[in-house]
Amino acid sequence: MARLKITQKKSLIGRKAEHRRTIRALGLRRINHSVIHDDNPVIRGMIQHVCFMVEVEKIK
């Protein structure tokens, strides 16, 4: 199964509450913090919602 490394690249300051909640739900805590998740539709949807704030890499 493919995995995704998600890294927060922008600050949460001044962002909408729903964007803040999505970033927290992904497990991100600060700029340049990375987490690894399985590649599934739920995670993909969350990434799409905050795509301007995160960087995504595929991991085998």
Tell me the residue type at 28: L
- Structural domain harbouring 37: 3-59
How many structural domains does the chain have?
A: 1
Which structure tokens are listed for 30?
């600060």
CATH of the domain at 23: 3.30.1390.20
**Cα–Cα distance between 13 and 43 in angstroms, integer?**
23
Nearest to 5 by CA among 26, 30, 31: 26
pLDDT digits (tens, 9 = 90+) for 10-58: 999 999 999 999 999 999 999 999 999 999 999 999 999 999 999 999 9
pTM: predicted TM-score of the whole model, two decimal places: 0.93
